[in-house]
Structure 1
Amino acid sequence: MLACAPQVGHAAQSDGHSEAQPQPEPLPLPPAVPAPQDVPFGGTLSLSVDATDLPRHVLSMKESIPLPARYTEKGGDFVLLYPMWLPGNHSPSGTIDQLGGLTVKADGKIIPWLRDTVTVSAFHIQVPQGTRQLDVSYQLLTPVSPKVGRVVMTDTMVNVQWSAVSLYPAGYFTRQIMVHPSVQFPAGWSYGTALRSDGKGAGSMVSFQPVSFNTLVDSPIFAGKYFRKFDLTQPDKVSVTLNVMADHPEDLAATEAQIEAHRNLVKQANLLFGSHHYAHYDFLLALTTKLGGIGLEHHQSSENSGPRGYFTQWDKTFGMRDLLAHEFTHSWDGKYRRPDGLWAPDFNTPQRGTGLWVYEGQTQYWGYVLAARAGLMTAAQVKDALAEVAAVYDNRQGRQWRPLIDTTNDPIIAQRSPQSWRSWQRSEDYYSEGQLIWLDADTLIRKMSDNKKSLNDFAKAFFGTNNGSIITSTYTFEDVVKTLNAVQPYDWETFLRDRLYHTSTHAPLDGITRGGAHVVYTEKPSDYVKSYSNLRHVSDFLFSLGLSVSKKGTVSEVLWGGPAWQAGVTRDQELLAVNGEAYDAEGLQDVITLAKNKDAAPIALLLKDGDRFHTVSVTYHGGLRYPHLEGDTQLLDTLLAPLGDQAGAKGDAAKK
């Protein structure tokens, strides 16, 4: 006999009691944290960081906060916030779990604090009447190993991110809060940052000029035992510096030709945008296997890590040399011009990432283009990279159910956590598929204008306004369309909406095919694929067996719908043997080649999944497949050529 559920609208009864048991009611939410107001905070916060506890990976902070007059006069609830919505992360990813030892004092006496039970990044402090200043101390218990999180302190380097080591008063736009920062470094270390010293430090303690809290958070520090600075300043005299730290001193051995390529990056960006939006710019680059990987943009600096052989194995590391070009572009695209949904008055107000297809997508495009124009990569290497991007996104079956615009929500949805089926789930595809859209737009403008106009003109018109200003300028979708139409009249709204808001079977490859080129697959990987795979320690069989394998033999990705997927292979399984022999990448390549015979037996993969061993049979006869561009690439060669050369070519054409 089935038990009957209580009828809707009737109180539940139990154990034969006639009294109705009360139903639970929602608990009222606590009062909201003070909303940010665009008014000056009044005083200047003092924030000091001790970055010397390398063995324990602990950063220790002391912060002095002058109180507004109303708290001195009457006391009351004063709220401090820990930054959560971090620039460049596009999500509430602040490392509040690492905050420890929080102690608040006034006139030497401890004042209790209480964390907000809803906004857990907010700390309530009941300030006694007559209190003029709060003295706050705390630590950031940074990860001691990669198993805990991103390592920011090693025996030879430290990455100070101000968003992680600071608290700020609620109720104010953060541009209205001034901070006087200082850092104690290990003795003998050098540092790089967009902050500037005020000359008041002593020994290994550096005191910086007061800045707004916005500028502080946007100005991280790299400090290290082994450090070099390279001047990249152009004739405009606006200071640009490449700051490099390394695990080992020999990794800093850059040649003049290599540094000249970085100077050319600054030159080509200035020519492209016709402006700059920094008082000075500091590239921060760590060449390391110890510090956690980082790729983050800032208005007046980058914050990046690269391989130890960035300089010393120059011919092998080009697969990541679009990185600094990408981050430098962000000074214009993302930091100066920013989608209106990605601007917020403080670092705890939610943001909306709808415009990331411009913020990151066009930056990804210019990263490749500027790398080629500067000589950080050759045009051939960039074309190989574009072939790889085109192949990846053309084979990404998730595009059949999920439009690209929805991936702009991924920083909040997934926060870059690992995915079981990336090719079906999609990730932050607005980066590289966005890049393909902007390549499409560039080549279309060139074709329609008989090469008199290009996306270069859009870049200068859209990002080059208010030369010298570092004040953020927001924009809308309509602003993008309007500027495109001013460069080259066309139905750009439909062009963009079709590619952003609609699902599709294939990636937007018209930017490649418009000039007569197309993607083909051969059995030989391009030099770019070799470099990219080596830097990421994987062997790529995505377009043949439909999987990639780490150097340790772990399956790192499985292509949804591919042969390995059909056989039931999943990521994170260990590939132990192929056709009865111990796995190695070269052996698997040979097996795939031999299996091209239609009568060949399926490929047998012995896999270890946890404590379970099993063998799967993969039916595949297509041979090794790696993407390349074939056909007429003249249009691509033109847009990858240095701007000085393009200007000269246009001048010669005009004379004729």
Structure 2
Amino acid sequence: MTAHAPVSFAAKSASALALAVALTFPAQAAVPAPVDQPYPGTIVLKVDATNLSQQIFRMHMTVPVKPGPMTFLYPQWLPANHGPSGPLTQLAGLKFTAGGKPVEWTRDPVEVFAFHLTVPEGVTTLEAEYQFLSPLDPGQGRIVMTDDILGLQWPSVTLYPAGYVARRITVQPSLTLPAGWQYGTALETAERKGDEVQFKAHDLETLIDSPLFAGRYFKKIDLDPNARVRVTLNVVADNAESLEAKPEQIAAHRAMVQQAARLFGSHHYAHYDFLLALSDDFGSIGREHHQSSENGVKPGYFTEWARGEAGRDLLPHEYTHSWNGKFRRPAGQDVPNFNTPLQNELLWVYEGQTEYWGEVLGARSGLLSQTGARDALAATAARYDNVRGRAWRAMQDTVNDPIIIARRALGWSNWQRGEDYYSEGALIWLDVDTKIRELSGDKRSLDDFARAFYGIENGRVQPVFYTFEDVVAALTRVQKFDWAPFLRARLDGHGPGAPLDGLARAGWKLVYTETPTDTIKSAEERSKSTDFSYSLGFAVRADGGVSNVQWDGVGFRAGLAGNSTIVAVNNKVFKPEVLKAAVKASKENKAPIELLVKKGNNLRTISLDYHGGLRYPRLERIPGTPDRLEAIYKALK
């Protein structure tokens, strides 16, 4: 072994100093911070949406400027998306000119949604041209333009100057539509000349929050004909037949608007526009805005009404957001522009309570039957009662998922968890509602909280922000109780199981039977899959593809994964009914269920040692208890 001379302290210090000198600080963004001052002048934004065949939006923007350095931003943090999801990859062809001469730009190396340029001396107006290359295939993103429908989301087509608060920037927008198309939007129209629509000037915050649906087949339905404040259902579809709504269907939607007014005792919009697309091709969506909402469902929404109630809580959910999420907003959502990070810690109120009210308003209006609402609640309760990821990850942490996961598909969602603040949040608010009812002898409820918390300053559109402490204080004013630890235990706890105390207080319990509810049958039909989640621990598509494998469930322990395909069951070619029959027979037959499974190019046989039969969730009354679910779902007078 070769001996080494000891290294002196001075040499060590010199070496450390040299290393420190070699290191450099990370690059800093050269983007001006937003200041609460008006932008000088009005930006004119023209959008051409006539290129249906190639699904390209073309923009021309005229911006009043002064000479010197300037930065433009493309919206990154989109409020209703809860994350940095601006479609930057689809912005293309960006060119600036002044007096017909090009003005070069450079992208910021840190804030890549920012574009720097220098306005030449003597220039007072800058022109910009660019395109939004909307997705051609669902793998590229949600389809927003088809031969018959288009959805214009202003964040996708807008650039804005850095250094200003969004609500202090004024924009004059216009849109050229395909020939003869009609449109719906919360934006105020100044005039329409042929197929060019000129909108009134709006502040940037209002513009970004006011999408537009347009289409070849279009219908407007007045949902509150006797009110001074207009509420309109704007429907676009793949064909004229899909637009045909029966009077009783329209009546249920009108009842939803009336029930919301009775619940909240207020409105916080100048008018409200539901944008509803009925299409197989236009991308599905449910997205809230202050004075409108984007809703995309399958074309049979009206014409196949009798086939099931699935999805009918979408419109009441998004409508509720006008009060919760848009008027009353979490304090962490109070940001100056669309490139400032959002704080999501209160999404279990913003989305969770809205999910609760969406289901309640659906039942109160008749969009959902009480049986359908209970069955949907049973499915939610079972799902979250079987979330294995609760062992390592609290529900509160899932508010970060729009940033962490960005709504990408998960391989092991039962273990990873994903945006559980929506539906598990709704279970927590059922817990709160029934607790208030129990403590007050059924004299008060969460309805009282809704009127007190969201009903303030009737008619005000400008948002009012809230904190966790504000929510607790408002609950305490409705019903004295130590609400903070009550909520934190459910938000930060690890179970076991979901927060189902609210169900018991409502007079119901979660059970499993061998017969699926109509809600489950409808969900299976929609997804073209068969759900064995509470028996074998996975679902399987009609082609044998395995999905939603429950962590540590029967299938998981046998080595099954979501990228597998079942080829045969007990030596019979796979069909959903063959596997169902095998599961039923397993109660009497003690032999394991044998599956021939294909994964990649490999085939193998796995054994499922399961003998519990088919298991589907439903709710069952607890004898001798008050039925508070019936009271919760009952229409308000």
- TM-score (ref. length: structure 2): 0.96
Distance, in Å, in 2 between the alignment partners of 1:449 and 1:480 is 19
1:212 alignment partner AA: D
Matched, 1:170 2:168: no
1:41 alignment partner AA: Y
Residue matched to 1:128: 120
Matched, 1:93 2:85: yes
1:161 alignment partner AA: Q
After superposition, what is the alpha-carbon deviation per residue over 1:164-215, rounded to whole angstroms, capped at 9, x for unaligned? 100001011100011111111111111111112101x321111111111111
Work out which of the residue numbers 524, 532, 553 in structure 2 matches 1:562: 553
Distance, in Å, in 1 between the alignment partners of 2:240 and 2:573 is 38
8 Å contact from structure 2 (residues 596, 606) kept in 1: yes
What is the DSSP-based 3-state SS (H/G/I as helix, E as strand, rest coil) of the residue aligned with 1:570? coil
Post-superposition, which runs of at least 4 consecutive aligned residues in structure 1 deviate over 3 A?
A: 6-13, 20-24
- Are the structure 2 counterparts of residues 464 and 21 from structure 1 closer, same or farther at C-alpha, using a change threshold of 3 Å? closer
* Farther off after superposition, 315-324 or 364-373: 315-324
Work out which of the residue numbers 347, 370, 395 in structure 2 matches 1:379: 370
Distance, in Å, in 2 between the alignment partners of 1:113 and 1:571 is 46
Offset of 1:600 from its aligned partner?
2.9
Distance, in Å, in 1 between the alignment partners of 2:307 and 2:538 is 23
Residue matched to 1:278: 269
Residue matched to 1:640: 633
What is the DSSP-based 3-state SS (H/G/I as helix, E as strand, rest coil) of the residue aligned with 2:381? helix
Distance, in Å, in 1 between the alignment partners of 2:99 and 2:564 is 59
2:172 alignment partner AA: H
After superposition, what is the alpha-carbon deviation per residue over 1:512-568, rounded to whole angstroms, capped at 9, x for unaligned? 111431011001110111122222333211111111123443222101111011111
8 Å contact from structure 1 (residues 296, 302) kept in 2: yes
After superposition, what is the alpha-carbon deviation per residue over 1:276-308, rounded to whole angstroms, capped at 9, x for unaligned? 011011111111111122111000111011111
Residue matched to 2:471: 480
Matched, 1:540 2:531: yes
Distance, in Å, in 2 between the alignment partners of 1:153 and 1:101 is 19
Matched, 1:467 2:440: no
Distance, in Å, in 2 between the alignment partners of 1:347 and 1:559 is 38
After superposition, what is the alpha-carbon deviation per residue over 1:41-83, rounded to whole angstroms, capped at 9, x for unaligned? 121111111111111111111111111xxx2xxx221000000
- The correspondence of residues 13-92 of structure 1 with structure 2, limited to 5 A, is 24-26=22-24, 28-67=26-65, 71=66, 75-92=67-84
What is the DSSP-based 3-state SS (H/G/I as helix, E as strand, rest coil) of the residue aligned with 2:426? helix
Residue matched to 1:17: none
What is the DSSP-based 3-state SS (H/G/I as helix, E as strand, rest coil) of the residue aligned with 1:46? strand
- Are the structure 2 counterparts of residues 203 and 450 from structure 1 closer, same or farther at C-alpha, using a change threshold of 3 Å? same
What is the DSSP-based 3-state SS (H/G/I as helix, E as strand, rest coil) of the residue aligned with 1:163? helix
- The correspondence of residues 173-188 of structure 1 with structure 2, limited to 5 A, is 173-188=165-180
Distance, in Å, in 2 between the alignment partners of 1:316 and 1:242 is 22
Residue matched to 2:197: 206
Work out which of the residue numbers 443, 458, 478 in structure 1 matches 2:434: 443
After superposition, what is the alpha-carbon deviation per residue over 1:230-249, rounded to whole angstroms, capped at 9, x for unaligned? 11025332111111111122
After superposition, what is the alpha-carbon deviation per residue over 1:569-618, rounded to whole angstroms, capped at 9, x for unaligned? 11132222222222222222111101112x43211222222222222211
- The correspondence of residues 381-460 of structure 1 with structure 2, limited to 5 A, is 381-460=372-451
Query: Aligned-pair RMSD on alpha carbons?
Result: 2.0
Distance, in Å, in 2 between the alignment partners of 1:577 and 1:439 is 43
1:42 alignment partner AA: P
Residue matched to 2:296: 305
8 Å contact from structure 1 (residues 234, 267) kept in 2: no
8 Å contact from structure 2 (residues 288, 321) kept in 1: yes
- The correspondence of residues 147-296 of structure 1 with structure 2, limited to 5 A, is 147-199=139-191, 201-296=192-287
- Are the structure 2 counterparts of residues 130 and 331 from structure 1 closer, same or farther at C-alpha, using a change threshold of 3 Å? same
- Are the structure 2 counterparts of residues 344 and 551 from structure 1 closer, same or farther at C-alpha, using a change threshold of 3 Å? farther
Distance, in Å, in 2 between the alignment partners of 1:341 and 1:152 is 30
8 Å contact from structure 2 (residues 73, 160) kept in 1: yes
Residue matched to 2:353: 362
- The correspondence of residues 498-577 of structure 1 with structure 2, limited to 5 A, is 498-577=489-568
Offset of 1:31 from its aligned partner?
4.8
- Are the structure 2 counterparts of residues 21 and 541 from structure 1 closer, same or farther at C-alpha, using a change threshold of 3 Å? closer
Matched, 1:600 2:590: yes
Distance, in Å, in 1 between the alignment partners of 2:603 and 2:295 is 40
Matched, 1:627 2:617: yes
Distance, in Å, in 1 between the alignment partners of 2:220 and 2:596 is 50
2:242 alignment partner AA: D
- Are the structure 2 counterparts of residues 607 and 275 from structure 1 closer, same or farther at C-alpha, using a change threshold of 3 Å? same
Distance, in Å, in 1 between the alignment partners of 2:543 and 2:293 is 31
2:635 alignment partner AA: P
8 Å contact from structure 2 (residues 510, 618) kept in 1: yes
2:378 alignment partner AA: A
Distance, in Å, in 2 between the alignment partners of 1:612 and 1:192 is 52
After superposition, what is the alpha-carbon deviation per residue over 1:395-441, rounded to whole angstroms, capped at 9, x for unaligned? 00111211111111111111111111111111100101110000011
8 Å contact from structure 2 (residues 79, 342) kept in 1: no
Offset of 1:272 from its aligned partner?
0.2
Matched, 1:110 2:102: yes
1:616 alignment partner AA: I
Offset of 1:147 from its aligned partner?
2.2
Matched, 1:491 2:482: yes
After superposition, what is the alpha-carbon deviation per residue over 1:100-138, rounded to whole angstroms, capped at 9, x for unaligned? 000001111110000000000000011112111111010
Distance, in Å, in 2 between the alignment partners of 1:31 and 1:513 is 54
Percent identical across equivalent pairs? 51
Matched, 1:611 2:601: yes
8 Å contact from structure 1 (residues 90, 342) kept in 2: no
- Are the structure 2 counterparts of residues 22 and 392 from structure 1 closer, same or farther at C-alpha, using a change threshold of 3 Å? closer
2:277 alignment partner AA: A
Distance, in Å, in 1 between the alignment partners of 2:135 and 2:367 is 33
8 Å contact from structure 1 (residues 302, 327) kept in 2: yes
Offset of 1:24 from its aligned partner?
4.2
Distance, in Å, in 2 between the alignment partners of 1:110 and 1:497 is 57
Distance, in Å, in 2 between the alignment partners of 1:361 and 1:631 is 25
8 Å contact from structure 2 (residues 308, 518) kept in 1: no
Distance, in Å, in 2 between the alignment partners of 1:429 and 1:529 is 20
Distance, in Å, in 1 between the alignment partners of 2:607 and 2:598 is 14
8 Å contact from structure 1 (residues 397, 505) kept in 2: no
Number of residue pairs the alignment of both structures matches: 629
Offset of 1:11 from its aligned partner?
10
8 Å contact from structure 1 (residues 538, 551) kept in 2: yes
Residue matched to 1:653: none
Matched, 1:324 2:322: no
- Are the structure 2 counterparts of residues 22 and 282 from structure 1 closer, same or farther at C-alpha, using a change threshold of 3 Å? closer
Unaligned stretches of 5+ residues in structure 1: 14-19, 645-656
Unaligned stretches of 5+ residues in structure 2: none
Matched, 1:139 2:131: yes
- TM-score (ref. length: structure 1): 0.93
1:61 alignment partner AA: M
8 Å contact from structure 2 (residues 256, 362) kept in 1: yes
